[in-house]
């Protein structure tokens, strides 16, 4: 038996409201977004919004839980199931976050939170607890495991986590702020590859570095430098 069209429409309404709200939150910010604007964007009355979401804060939390939390859950499942090198897992996590969050409309949420969390501390605490802390815990767990298994050097996992995540979040913020000023926009794929390579190059232990193949060109450059010997002060 088919569900009547009006019933299907009613079931889809929360998703339509959250989609409209996400657009407006990213375009205008949290403070400047009004529920009547969300209702207008979704093609319903303001009263309809209140049938599903008691307040603008509740609507924002629903948007985050609907679009961002499942990505974290997926990453946690990947970490539990992963049996290979943790450096490969970190690369997959960063790439996955960018593909599912950073490059989508949800990539505008970090910019919003950085700008407005102090003005809306309840939202700040919510976002920190359910998104930031959970994401940090996921990445930090992978780094700690890599250190225990000897793949990574013995560094401070909490700081390494921040060093890994920070530039990725900055890329998302850049896309939603100064990118329009840039005459040659960043290529996200190249940016992320360079970032991950730099971080993993410093993170790998001596043993794991020795396992990695070295380019012949790099070996030749080192040999030539040794043959020439140390340069004299002032030599050009």
d(CA 129, CA 126): 5
pLDDT band at 217 (very low <50, low <70, confident <90, very high): very low
Distance CA 37, CA 15 (A): 16
Residues 47 and 75 in one domain: no
CATH number for the domain harbouring residue 59: 1.10.10.60
d(CA 126, CA 173): 20
Percent of the chain, pLDDT > 90? 79
- Span 173-200, average pLDDT: 93
Q: What tokens were used for 178?
A: 């100064």
Asked, for residue 1, whether it belongs to a domain, the answer is no
Mean of pLDDT over the chain:
88
**51/107 same-domain check:** no
114 belongs to a structural domain: yes
| Residue at 226 is within a domain | no
Does 131 share its domain with 191? yes
Q: Are residues 18 and 89 in the same domain?
A: no
pTM over 0.95: no
Statement to judge: residues 58 and 99 lie in one domain: no
């Amino acid at each position: 038996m088919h569900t009547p069209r009006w019933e299907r429409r009613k079931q889809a309404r929360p998703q339509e409201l959250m989609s409209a709200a996400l657009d407006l939150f990213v375009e205008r910010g949290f403070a400047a977004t009004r529920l009547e604007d969300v209702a207008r964007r979704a093609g319903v009355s303001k009263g309809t919004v209140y049938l599903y979401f008691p307040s603008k804060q509740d609507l924002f939390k629903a948007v985050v839980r609907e679009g961002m939390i499942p990505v974290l859950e997926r990453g946690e499942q990947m970490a539990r199931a992963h049996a290979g090198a943790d450096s490969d897992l970190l690369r997959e996590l960063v790439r996955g976050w960018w593909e599912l969050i950073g490059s989508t409309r949800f990539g505008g949420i970090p910019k919003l939170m950085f700008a407005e969390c102090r003005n809306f501390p309840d939202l700040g605490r919510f976002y920190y607890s359910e998104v930031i802390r959970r994401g940090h815990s996921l990445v930090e767990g992978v780094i700690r495991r890599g250190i225990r298994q000897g793949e990574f050097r013995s560094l401070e996992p909490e700081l390494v986590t921040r060093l890994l995540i920070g530039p990725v979040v900055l890329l998302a913020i850049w896309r939603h702020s100064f990118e329009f000023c840039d005459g040659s926009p960043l290529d996200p794929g190249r940016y992320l590859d360079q970032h991950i390579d730099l971080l993993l190059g410093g993170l790998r232990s001596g043993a794991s570095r020795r396992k990695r193949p070295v380019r012949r060109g790099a070996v030749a450059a080192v040999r030539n430098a040794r043959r020439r010997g140390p340069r004299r002060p002032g030599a050009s």
